Amino acid sequence: MPGKNILRLSLLFVLVVCSKVLAFAQSSDPLIRLWYNEEKNAKIEIYKATDGKYYGKVVWLKVPDIDGKPKTDIHNADEKKRNQPIIGLVILKGIKKVGDNEYEDGTIYDPKNGSTYKCKMSFDGDKLNLRGYIGFSWIGRTTTWTKAD
C-alpha cells in the first residue's frame, strides 16, 4: 500500500507542476511570467491576483543560503519579519495596468535595504523597466528585468 500512496503523490505533483507551466504558457498577458532581476541573481514570478492587480514574488535565488540556512529578510524595518525567507517574499504589490505597456500605483520592496518604494513599470519587448521612487517618479531609480522563461 505505501507504494500506491507514493505513486499517487508523485502523479499529483506532476499534475500540479504541469498545470503551472501551462498557465504560464497560455497567458496572453506578457507581464505574467518569470523575470530575472537586473543582476540575474534572482527570479521573480509576476502574477495577477483576484483583485485584478499584479504582484511579484521571489521564487529563485542564485545563492539561496547563507551558512547552510535560507537567506532571510534581515534588513526589514519590521523586526518580526527579519526571519522570513527571501524565497517566497512578495516584493511587488498592487500594480495596476494603466496603458498598453504601462503599469503603476503599486509598490516595490527592496530586500537589500529593507525599503519600500512606489513603483511604476513599462514593458518593452523582453524587458521590464521598473521605477522605484518616493514622492515623485522623477526622484527615483530605474532597474530593468529580463524574461527568465
Q: In the chain, how many domains are there?
A: 2
Q: Are residues 41 and 21 in the same domain?
A: no
Strand boundaries in 1-149, DSSP class E:
33-36, 42-48, 54-61, 65-66, 69-70, 90-97, 102-110, 115-124, 127-133, 140-147
Full residue range of the structural domain in which residue 6 is found: 1-28
Q: Are residues 37 and 88 in the same domain?
A: yes
Model pTM score: 0.79
Series of mean pLDDT values for 10-residue runs along the chain (149 residues): 54 49 60 96 97 98 93 95 96 95 95 95 92 87 93
Q: Are residues 92 and 46 in the same domain?
A: yes
pLDDT attached to residue 12: 47
Over residues 70-86, the pLDDT tens digits come to: 999 999 999 999 999 99
